[in-house]
Structures are given as C-alpha cells and as structure tokens.
Structure 1
Amino acid sequence: MKFTSILRLTAGIAFAGMFAVSAHAADTLVIHVGYAAIGVDNRPFSEGTSAATARAGEFLEKEFADDPNVKIEWTFFKGAGPAVNEGFANDQLDFAYQGDLPSLIGRATGLKTRYLLASGARKPLYLAVSKDSGIKKIEDLKGKKVAYQRGTNGHLAAIKILEAHGLKEKDIQVINLDSAATIAALTSKDIDAAFGDTQLINLAAQGSADVIYTTKGDDPRFGRNAGIIARQAFIDAHPEVTQKVVDAFVKAAQWSSDEKNRAALFELWHKSGTPIAIIEEYFSKDTLAYRNSPLIDDLLVSQYEEQAVKSKEFGLVRREVDLKGWFEPKYFNNAVERLGLTKFWQSYGANGKPIGS
C-alpha cells in the first residue's frame, strides 16, 4: 500500500516523499511515531495537543537520551488519520497521535492497535463561512458546498453537529479537502463553508472568512477526541520501551497542563507556524488541564463508544466496531503512579460533568 502526501523526518530534516522503513543496525531500535496532522507549509510540527508538545519539546528524545541504541523518528501526515492507518497496516508506525474516527475505522478493519492515553481530546470544532455567503447559522448550510477532510475526527464531529441542527450529510455538498486546500477554497469562495480549527480562526482574524459556530461552550460531546495509539506487536515485543514512551507522553501532558507554562507552551506550539494569537484564541476560556488531560475517563470512553455507533450509523464503517480490550490503561496508570500524578487531572463522567463535584 503506497502513501501520498507524507513528510518524513530524518536527522531533523523534513522532506516530501514516500514513507520507507529505516535501515538500521540490528542493535538499534528505531521507534516510529506518527502524527495525524502537519504544520503550516508542511512544517514537521503541530499545535493544540500534548503530543504536539512531546514533539516540539523533544520529550521522547529526552526520555531515551541515556540509551544510544534507541532512536525516535517522527512522521507528520498531510493525509491525517487515514494515512496513519496505512502506516499501521504496513507495520511502519509503532505509535501515533490519531483522532477518534480514523482509529475506529482502523479497529473495524482489523488493525491490531491499542489506545494508551488521551491527547488532544476535548478539542473544539469551528465552522467558518466565506465572506458574503449569507450563511448565519448551521441550518443555512443546506445545499451549500461545505469542506472537511473525510475520515478524520472532524468529519464525524461535523456530521453530529449537522444532525443536531436537523441536517444530514446528504443535505450538503461535501467537499473533501485538507487544511491547506480548505483555506485556499474558502478564501477564493469556491466553497461556502468549512469545518476546522486554528486555520479557520486565523482566516477569520485576517478578515477572509467569518466563524459562525464553535463547539466551545456547547455540548462537550460535540467535540473531537484523539489519543496515542500503539501497534500491538510493538507493545508485545517491547513492553519496557512502551512504558518509557508513555512516560514521556505523560510528562508532556503534565507540562502542557500547567498554567504557569501557558505562554511557553504557546510559544513551543508556534513552531507549527500557527500564530500565537490564534492559539491563545483557540484555548481561550479553557484551562490547560482540561484540554490537555491524558485520562482515559468515562467521558472519553463513552465518546469513543458513541463514535463507534455513529460511525456505523452514518455509513463510515461497514461493520460494528468492537472496542472490547482496545483501551490499555496499564502503562498510563504506571506512569501517573510513579510520577505522583494520580490526582493531577480531573476525571469527567459520561454526561460531561466532573466526577465528584
């Protein structure tokens, strides 16, 4: 299976091309880590998640700094979650940051992966419309050209939002575009509207579009979820290495959740090319701990269960998605116990409310 639109990092240099398995000496373990997004102008960074922090802050590299036989290779995918699934299918990825819908599609098609911890869960979704479109509310999208990237967690969230406002996917003209193409199409008014996040906030700030809706402040179950997914074969072969990888991601989540690091965090995420002012807006009125929580709590699990049902209902998967045994909290629980973080993050119930409040 071939890849398209892939950026590979080798020795800190990014280049476009086909994904290939790294050649390495028998005594060197190369850990391949994927990220289902890419920065502005194909920069090998992202923003808005603790996984993005782990990359930009080199948390994994520091975790293995005392082991010269372990190397970390990051791959950022313009093709987002579907491209990550290709990487897992070809045993070319060991870990990845991936959204809910593509990971569920991978599960439904038989990919042997496990969900290790949350990252980028509770991410809001935005709806922007082209200037002078006349679209004032979600109901006005009927019959309009609306862009989002199929197969991503934004795709499923968009359908749920449409459904909540009396529309179905067939009621709109879906245009399948990645982030960069969406911006160009919305600016040129080749499309009427688009679902997305920071890139749409930025476009609106430039006066080239209008944001008319966001899931922020709405039902938290309309938001998007994502996490760190791992290949089962790698976990089985390298349980101690897996633990250290999870440790690194938990440390990145802790640092990303500390309010005293807010300015430094946004500066770190700015490596993606997203302006700091846009990131500030993206996180406005949200605590860092809420947005960057790595917990596999009742809200997260219930959301994945609901997404699994909705994926089948909307025809996004052909078979039932069996989540039994998919969540693997063991490594995360070990990490938070050892790091003294068992009470650091607030757990939420399936109803979206804090547990114990």
Structure 2
Amino acid sequence: MKKFVSLIATALIAIGLPLAAQAQENPKVVRIAFSGAGVGGKPASSGGALATAHQRGILEKEFAKDGIKVEWSFFVGAGPATNEALALKKIDFATQGDLPLVVARANGLRTRILLSGSRFNRNYVVVPTSSTIQSLEDLRGKKLTVQKGTSGQLTLNRLLEKAGLKETDLRVIDMIGDSQKAALSTGDVDAALQSSTDLVVRGLVRRIYKVEDPKLTAPSQIWVSEEFEAKYPHIVQRFVTTLVRESAWVSDEKNRDEIFRLFAKTGNPYSDYKEDYKGTELRDRFSPLLDEYYTNSLAKSIGEVKHFRFARRDAQIEGWVEPKYLQTALKELKLEGYWDEFDADGKRKKAAGK
C-alpha cells in the first residue's frame, strides 16, 4: 500500500500538481450571516464591504468558477441570533458587533476574527419632537429602547456611565429597529439609541446626543468559524482577499453616491446615509485593518462585557484575531498603506508609504 501511495505521489508531482493542492477540498456552499436585516426584515444590509459585496454579487462571482454556492442569512435578532446559528453550525462567516461577539467567545463559541468591518460609526440618542427631554441626565426614570444583546447596548452603557447613570436608572426596553421607530412615533417610549437618522430627517424625532467618540463606539468585525477555517483555509483566504478588494471599492469617494444607493436597498432612505456619513471619509469608516485601534477596542470591550455583567465567563483574546489572511490580501492587491492606521485612542497615525 505504501508503495502504491508513493507511486501516486510521484505521478502527481511529475505532471506538475503539488500534493498540497491535491489535498485541498472545496465546500459545496459558503454560508454568510449578517447580524441584522433591512426595514421589515428585508434581506439587505449596509455599513461596509460585506454589504456591498452582497448587493453586487462579488463573492458569488469569485466562487462560481469552482461551483461553490454562496448563501446569505439576515437575522432580525441581530448578534444573539448569529450566535445561535453559529452554535448550531448553520453559518461559516458573519459580521457582528462587539457585545454579541464577546459573549459568544465567553460561552465557548470558536471563531477567528479576519478583518474589521466598519468603524467610527455614529449613534444617536433621540426623543420625540414634542418631548421635554434635553439631556442624558433627563433620561433618569424614562423609558429608553435599544436592541439588547447588540453592540448598541454596550454603547448605551458606556454613554450612561459617562453621564453618571446606569441601565437600572432607566427603564430600558428591548426592541428591534422597526419596533423602535413605531414606539417613538406613538410615544410609547421616551427615547431610543439608534444608528439611523431616518426619523430625524422626517422630523418625527430630534437628537439630544450624538455618539461619535471612538472610545464610546467600537469597530464591527468579520469572522470565520474555527471549524471552517481548519478545513478550508484556502477558501478563507479567497474570501478575505475578495472582501479587501471590495473594501477598497467602498472606500473610494468617487463611489459614495452609488454606495449609498446600494445601502438604501435596506429600506432606509438614501438621505439617511447621506446625512449619517456627512463629514467623514469613507476610507476611515470602511478600513479592514486590524490595527492598534481595533485590537485595543476589542480588549476594552472584553473588559466592559465583564464590568457590565453581560457574560458570566471571561472571553480570552489569545488566538482569536488572525491577521495573516488580511496581510496576504493587502500584499497581493498592493494595498499596503492604502488605509491609515489609528492608535489605541482612535487617532490617526501616519500610514506606511505616506
């Protein structure tokens, strides 16, 4: 038998096919999840390269040459629903915010972080236009809605702590985005923490606080399950390289209008995105880098999840962030130095090559 295997190996090498290549198998399907959905559960998302890659069929084009199907899932239940799908082994890749990501890690769900999804996102504390609430301090004892278990809840706790408050000082009600809008419109809640400016643009609510401090927000990320990575590392590399190329496209200011029109397929209006991204560079918002700002934000989120008691166990950061796929993609695509790096405080550093 050993002699037979040796002969086969010799034959493969003779015709120019390395053994490593022969050993690589491809999956029949690549399953990708968004921790969220568009208005009314529409299968669409916004906020980064993965969203535009879905809209433009970029990953389908990449994997079609090998007959690999791409399946997309959009979870209205956001990060917690993504964690459930991962636990049931129903997804391979996903994008997620910091709170559900850390909770999953603390509960033993194994993933590898591949690249940053988006950063420096803005959130807004809004109240009905007729409300007398003027400041964060005025929220004490009021009903505020946020989708619990998401990055928004962690952002809310950071914000409240900065204002000398905590969740128990308010009546925090768990609602998805669509329900939040309805509750604000009818006056069933006094305030909400939202990323959308839709109701502001329509004059139904007004902002009392704009959250854009990089110490109060955190980057999203794109990960792969450890099981999938161990089995198909070559597919992981192709996935990352394709998304880094798409990150460059979505970071190009000349595409700003087209990007917002793609984002508007979520059901949120084009004007919402135009307003939200005003005064910010796409290249900063959509950087895929796992730089100092990213790693520091992740470490800080791990500590805050424990501090605010969102998980009973500690999450371990060792072996979690895997930058090799990103580094290979940046080199292959000649994009090293294209995105500025940011320090631990979210301040711009001089990028390599600039």
Q: TM exceeds 0.5? A: yes
Partner of 1:306: 300
Q: Distance in 1 between matches of 2:172 and 2:166?
A: 11
Q: Distance in 2 between matches of 1:153 and 1:121?
A: 12
Q: Distance in 2 between matches of 1:243 and 1:140?
A: 50
Structure 1 residue 51 corresponds to structure 2 residue 50: yes
Q: Distance in 2 between matches of 1:171 and 1:149?
A: 18
Instruction: List 4+ stretches of structure 1 deviating above 2 A.
Output: none
Which of 191, 205, 208 is equivalent to 2:204? 208
Q: Say which one has the larger Rg.
A: 2
Q: Distance in 2 between matches of 1:224 and 1:185?
A: 27
Q: Distance in 2 between matches of 1:349 and 1:71?
A: 39
Structure 1 residue 190 corresponds to structure 2 residue 184: no
Structure 1 residue 61 corresponds to structure 2 residue 55: no
Partner of 1:121: 119
Q: Distance in 1 between matches of 2:166 and 2:335?
A: 42
State the SS of the aligned residue for 1:221.
coil
Which of 233, 236, 247 is equivalent to 1:239? 233
Partner of 1:77: 75
Q: Distance in 2 between matches of 1:356 and 1:241?
A: 32
Partner of 1:138: 136
User: How far 1:65 sits from its partner (Å)?
Assistant: 2.8
Q: Distance in 1 between matches of 2:270 and 2:96?
A: 23
Counterpart AA for 1:53: T
Which of 263, 278, 281 is equivalent to 2:275? 281
Counterpart AA for 1:159: N
Measured on the aligned residues, the alpha-carbon RMSD in Å equals 1.3
State the SS of the aligned residue for 1:354.
coil
Alignment of 1:342-357 (within 5 A): 342-356=336-350
Q: Distance in 1 between matches of 2:217 and 2:27?
A: 40
Report the TM-score when normalising by structure 1.
0.89
Counterpart AA for 1:138: L
Partner of 2:19: none
Counterpart AA for 1:144: K
Partner of 1:112: 110
Report the TM-score when normalising by structure 2.
0.90
Q: Distance in 2 between matches of 1:91 and 1:209?
A: 41
Counterpart AA for 2:308: F
User: How far 1:28 sits from its partner (Å)?
Assistant: 5.8
Counterpart AA for 2:288: P
Q: Distance in 2 between matches of 1:174 and 1:340?
A: 47
State the SS of the aligned residue for 1:146.
strand
Contact 2:26 2:232 in 1 (8 A): no
Where does structure 2 lack aligned partners over 5 or more consecutive residues? 1-24
Cα deviations across residues 16-74 of structure 1 (Å, max 9, x unaligned)? xxxxxxxxxx9861111000010112211111222211211112112113122x00000
User: How far 1:133 sits from its partner (Å)?
Assistant: 1.9
Of Structure 1 and Structure 2, the greater helix share is in: 2
State the SS of the aligned residue for 1:33.
strand
User: How far 1:320 sits from its partner (Å)?
Assistant: 1.6
Q: Distance in 2 between matches of 1:77 and 1:308?
A: 23
Higher deviation after alignment, 203-212 or 305-314: 203-212
Partner of 2:221: 227
Identity of aligned residues (%): 38
Higher deviation after alignment, 243-252 or 282-291: 243-252
Partner of 1:13: none
Counterpart AA for 2:38: G
Q: Distance in 2 between matches of 1:126 and 1:291?
A: 17
Number of aligned residues? 327
